[in-house]
């Protein structure tokens, strides 16, 4: 697993995600989830590509059930993007790398414009 990906828990979610200085994308996943296993390597590649621009995090929903429940996550994989502690985008289900990269590029461009 890439060292560019932060593994967050219910206990660390506030500090690691909501209080992060950079935008954060959190991959909510579980080991038994086939589509999650498809998205995993894509998230690792994107974490390398966007290093220094965005934080990539993963939360195992089997081991951490409180945060996903509070966020209303009903299906995995779910990717949620945060900026300044606020959810700014949510994607449910597996998506190809190019689609995720395009979405991230658009989000980062929008955040740069709003500064």
Residue in 25, 36, 59, 80 annotated catalytic: 36
Residue in 33, 54, 55, 80 annotated catalytic: 33
Annotation says 36 is catalytic: yes
Annotation says 33 is catalytic: yes
Closest CA to 33 of 94, 91, 90, 82: 94
Give phi and psi for 47, each to the nearest 5: -60, -35
**Sheet strands (E) in the chain:** 5-7, 24-29, 55-60, 78-83, 86-92
What angle do the packed helices 97-113 and 34-49 form, to 10 degrees? 50
Point out the residues that are catalytic.
Answer: 33, 36
């Amino acid at each position: 697993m890439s060292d560019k990906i932060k593994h967050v828990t219910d206990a660390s979610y506030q500090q690691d995600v909501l209080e992060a200085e950079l935008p954060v994308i959190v991959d909510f996943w579980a080991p038994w989830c086939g589509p999650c296993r498809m998205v995993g390597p894509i998230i690792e590649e994107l974490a390398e590509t966007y290093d220094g621009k965005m934080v990539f995090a993963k939360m195992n929903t089997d081991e951490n059930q409180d945060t996903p429940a509070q966020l209303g996550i009903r299906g995995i994989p779910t990717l949620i993007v945060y900026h300044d502690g606020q959810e700014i985008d949510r994607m449910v289900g597996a998506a190809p790398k190019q689609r995720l990269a395009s979405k991230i590029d658009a989000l980062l461009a929008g955040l740069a414009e709003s500064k």
